[in-house]
């Protein structure tokens, strides 16, 4: 009993590695990242609608693939897009396509989501073709405020875990449970 009591103070001295914090300047190398993916959860709130989904996002140099699904993968929708083409497959055998990716995705979702910019924002980067202003925990760009509420370690990288993206009409919250960066998985 006395031995157990002696061990208790030692347990309280174990320190946990502090979580990394967001630093925009330390992220520029991620613009060159060719392949990455993540699994997480997404919540979007608009003026008249809101919804949540599980999200799996795979990025390669020539394509983005987003899979949105409900609990246990129900109601899966797969969105694949390049700069000038998008396809949406809701699993009903009728794939819809458009040569105006951002406009088409927003029409289908019923809420304005800056899909092209999100490709950079999920990495903690401003879109390179647009001006931005740094904030204490992120930046503002194109009328959106992007805040990195929590970061996580993926081996030698500091990657976003909790992100909010807000403008006057829409609030998007993203929690990233697992990253794959250069074939290295988090957690």
Cα-based torsion angle of the residue sequence 179, 184, 186, 187 in order, rounded to the nearest 10 degrees? 140
Q: Is the pLDDT of residue 81 over 80?
A: yes
Instruction: Quote the pTM value.
Output: 0.84
Predicted confidence at residue 70, as pLDDT, reads 83
Q: Domains, the chain, ranges and CATH?
A: 19-185 (2.50.20.10)
Q: Is the pLDDT of residue 84 over 60?
A: yes
The 10s digit of each residue's pLDDT in 43-74 is: 999 888 888 999 999 999 999 999 999 876 57
Which band of pLDDT confidence, cut at 50, 70 and 90, is reported for residue 16? Answer: low
Which band of pLDDT confidence, cut at 50, 70 and 90, is reported for residue 133? Answer: very high
Which band of pLDDT confidence, cut at 50, 70 and 90, is reported for residue 106? Answer: confident
- Rounded mean pLDDT of the chain? 85
Predicted confidence at residue 175, as pLDDT, reads 98
Q: Is the pLDDT of residue 116 over 70?
A: yes
Q: Which residue in the block uniquely carries the two structure tokens 């969105």?
A: 79
Query: What is the Cα–Cα distance from 140 to 65, expressed in whole angstroms?
Result: 25
> Residue 67 contacts by C-beta under 8 Å, 6 or more apart in sequence?
55, 56, 57, 76, 77, 78, 79
């Amino acid at each position: 009993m006395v031995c157990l009591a002696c061990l208790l103070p030692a347990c309280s001295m174990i320190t946990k590695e502090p979580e990394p914090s967001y630093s925009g300047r330390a992220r520029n190398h991620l613009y060159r990242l060719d392949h990455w993916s993540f699994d997480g959860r997404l919540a979007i709130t608009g003026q008249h609608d809101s919804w949540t989904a599980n999200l799996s996002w795979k990025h390669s140099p020539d394509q983005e693939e987003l899979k949105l699904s409900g609990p246990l993968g129900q109601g899966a929708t797969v969105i694949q897009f390049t700069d000038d083409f998008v396809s949406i497959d809701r699993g009903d055998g009728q794939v819809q396509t458009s040569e105006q990716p951002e406009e088409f995705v927003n029409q289908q979702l019923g809420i304005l989501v800056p899909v092209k910019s999100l490709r950079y924002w999920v990495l903690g980067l401003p879109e390179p073709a647009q001006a931005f202003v740094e904030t204490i925990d992120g930046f503002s760009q194109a009328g959106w405020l992007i805040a990195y509420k929590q970061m996580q370690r993926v081996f030698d990288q500091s990657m976003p875990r909790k992100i909010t993206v807000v403008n006057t009409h829409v609030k998007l919250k993203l929690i990233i449970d697992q990253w794959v960066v250069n074939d290295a998985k988090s957690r």
